[in-house]
């Protein structure tokens, strides 16, 4: 039995999220269906993370086990032809038998892209989030700095029965501007459900003075899974890269 590792990108606007769902088109379901149809094998895709509906990926990583001895290059070619325009496999190789795309990951980095609302073209609207006003990256960076480190992030997640431990560690947050777009990079070992979007939504609310300057610190000091959650839109979020 071979353990096949794939690295790939996808357009989240074309799917109802990542995880397999009955009667809905998802990233996981689409890949598994192609493998079943072309190679007559039912596989279970093990992945570095599960993105929400509308969230994209530039470097998602998955692995699956196959009984047939098929070249990873052939698998890559078949998947790319069958899923053209929606999912693109950038690398496929045989991995060690103990490799697990989720549990072997050391860090994950997410990227969030924003642009002034009146400058977004129709071709960008599903891939960048709209800003009502100009943002100074250094000022936003300072607002987000308290999130760096190990904290109880109960106030920055949606409830998830699969993840009962609310503690997570953020290694780095970087805000910068390029080509009239604002970028936020967030790196950590792992993240809770919708955690990235709530972190960014909260920071933007503070920046535009819709919440107090102490809003984020208060949320960290008083974890509350039932409290207010301010979500940034999904279309600007990308799973950027996973390090092993």
Helix (H, G, I), strand (E, B) or coil at 175: strand
Beta-strand relationship, 56-66 and 87-95:
unpaired
DSSP states of 58-112: EEEEEEEEESS---HHHHHHHHHHHTTTTEEEEEEEEE-TT--TTTT-SEEEEEE
**Catalytic residue chosen out of the listed positions 11, 52, 118, 132:** 52
Spatial neighbors of 37 by CB under 8 A, at least 6 apart, are: 82
Structure tokens at 151: 């904290």
Cα–Cα distance for residue pair 217/195, rounded to 1 Å: 16
Query: Is 52 a residue of the active site?
Result: yes
Cα–Cα separations (whole angstroms), residue 220 to 100, 108, 152: 31, 21, 7
Distance CA 8, CA 39 (A): 20
Q: Which residues are catalytic?
A: 52
């Amino acid at each position: 039995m071979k353990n096949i590792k794939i690295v790939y990108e996808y357009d989240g606007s074309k799917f109802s999220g990542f995880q397999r769902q009955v009667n809905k088109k998802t990233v996981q379901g689409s890949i598994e269906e192609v493998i079943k149809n072309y190679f007559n094998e039912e596989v279970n895709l093990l992945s570095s993370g599960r993105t929400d509906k509308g969230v994209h990926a530039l470097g998602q990583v998955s692995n699956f086990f196959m009984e047939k001895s098929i070249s990873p290059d052939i698998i890559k070619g078949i998947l790319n032809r069958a899923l053209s325009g929606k999912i693109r496999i950038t690398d496929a190789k045989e991995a060690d038998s103990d490799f697990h795309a989720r549990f072997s990951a050391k860090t994950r980095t997410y990227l969030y892209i924003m642009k002034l609302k009146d400058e977004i073209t129709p071709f960008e609207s599903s891939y960048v989030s709209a800003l009502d006003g100009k943002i100074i990256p250094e000022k936003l960076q300072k607002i987000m700095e308290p999130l760096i480190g190990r904290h109880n992030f109960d106030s920055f997640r949606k409830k998830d029965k699969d993840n009962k431990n609310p503690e997570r560690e953020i290694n780095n947050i970087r805000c910068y501007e390029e080509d009239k777009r604002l970028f936020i990079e967030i790196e950590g070992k792992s993240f809770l459900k919708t955690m990235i979007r709530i972190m960014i939504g909260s920071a933007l609310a503070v920046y535009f003075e819709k919440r107090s300057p102490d809003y984020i610190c208060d949320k960290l000091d008083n974890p509350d899974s039932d409290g207010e959650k301010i979500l940034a839109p999904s279309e600007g979020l990308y799973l950027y890269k996973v390090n092993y």
